[in-house]
A and B are shown apart, each in its own frame.
Chain A
Amino acid sequence: MSGLIGRKIGMTRLADEAGNFVACTVIQAGPCVVTQIKTEEKDGYAAIQLGYEEATDKHTPKAEQGHFKKAGTTNKKRLIEFKGFEKELKAGEVVDVTIFNEGDFVDVAGTSKGEGFQGVVKRWGFSGVGSRTHGQHDRQRAPGSAGASSFPSRVWRGKKMAGRTGGVRAKAQNLAIFKILPEKNVLLVKGSIPGYNGSYVIVER
């Protein structure tokens, strides 16, 4: 799986060839540097480690500085491993948006927006009580019963309840690449992707 590390920039809408507007997300993806090649013999699995965005010595631990020195690259802020990269690469090589083509379908993973403590209707899509009348009072978005009675006499593990929502890894799958602007390392994908503007994302095919 080929991929890149990038940042979500924001959304806009652009016209396609027919003139219809398409909602697009602007992603600044790469250029990434290969910082390590993991092999079956040495590490137990094959993968390629990519680094993204320059970092200063001050903000890089000494151990990581050594790691970058070994790869012959400058310090990087983000390191991500990709398994089964389609291109043969050596440590120190640069990978950029040209590995993708317009029209390709990609998956974009990131950290979804944190929504705080939310009820079951928003968090799990419960339908709520569904009626404001017929004796209902103050419980339109209530979760209802948490389980049966004497068996099991407890609440099943993993029962969907209210709580912290969002702020977890999320992936948007099968997004078509609308346009690529290699001069600015910009990737435009159709539709929305998880996370805040400016947050790190992984684009993979």
Chain B
Amino acid sequence: MNLIQYVEEKLSPKKQLPDFKAGDTITVHYKIKEGDKERVQQYQGIVIQRRGAGASAMFTVRKISNGVGVERVFPVNSAFIDKIELNKQGVVRRARIYYIRQAKGKKARIEEKQHNETEVANAPANAKPVAAAAE
């Protein structure tokens, strides 16, 4: 094995996260330190991209906050991520949906993935809210 992969495997804690990709709507529960108090902040938005591999993998989440587009980039293996909820699986054709930044109105919508019955039965546990929505 490549030494860098070895080092990352050894020293970078792997997180158990749902399998999300560009176009999905997720909620990131992010730990924030204020003084010596710690609280969890929720950030919900559309995943625009996942990039990088191994310990340096990142993902970008975009949301519209008070009419202003906000994008936040999180490291996938960050210790500050408490958990991630997969709210909606979107149907998009690209891995990086930058066009959503310019899209307005109807174009800015993302079609939700429709599950047929077998898929719902086989869906992983973390995809449950989506399965429920599809029914």
Contacts and interface: CB of A to CB of B under 8 A. Distances in A.
Interface string B1-25: 0011011101111000000000000
Q: What is the size category of the interface that chain B forms with chain A?
A: 10 to 19
Given A12-B4, A15-B79, A26-B4, A181 B55 contact: no
Interface of A is mostly: strand
A10 B4 contact: yes
Interface string A181-195: 100101010000000
Interface in B42-83: 54-56, 75, 77-80
Q: Pick the most buried of B11, B77, B78: most chain A CB atoms within 10 A of its CB.
A: B11
Contact of A12 (B8, B78, B80): B8
Contacts of A26: 3-4, 7
Interface in A1-25: 9-10, 12-15, 18-19, 21
Contact of B3 (A13, A15, A179, A184): A184
Interface of B: 3-4, 6-8, 10-13, 54-56, 75, 77-80
A13 B8 CA distance: 8
Q: What is the size category of the interface that chain A forms with chain B?
A: 10 to 19
Given A28-B3, A186-B3, A13 B10 contact: no
Contacts of B10: 181
Interface of A: 9-10, 12-15, 18-19, 21, 26, 28, 179, 181, 184, 186, 188
Contacts of B6: 184, 186
Contacts of B78: 15, 19, 21
Contact of B7 (A18, A19, A21, A186): A186
Interface of B is mostly: helix
B7 A15 contact: no
Contacts of A10: 3-4
Given A13-B55, A19-B80, A179 B4 contact: no
B84 to A, nearest CB: 16
A32 to B, nearest CB: 18
Contacts of A28: 3
30 contacts: A9-B3, A9-B4, A10-B3, A12-B4, A12-B7, A12-B8, A12-B54, A13-B55, A13-B56, A14-B11, A14-B12, A14-B55, A15-B12, A15-B13, A15-B77, A18-B79, A19-B78, A19-B79, A21-B78, A26-B3, A26-B4, A26-B7, A28-B3, A179-B11, A181-B7, A184-B3, A184-B6, A186-B6, A188-B7, A188-B11
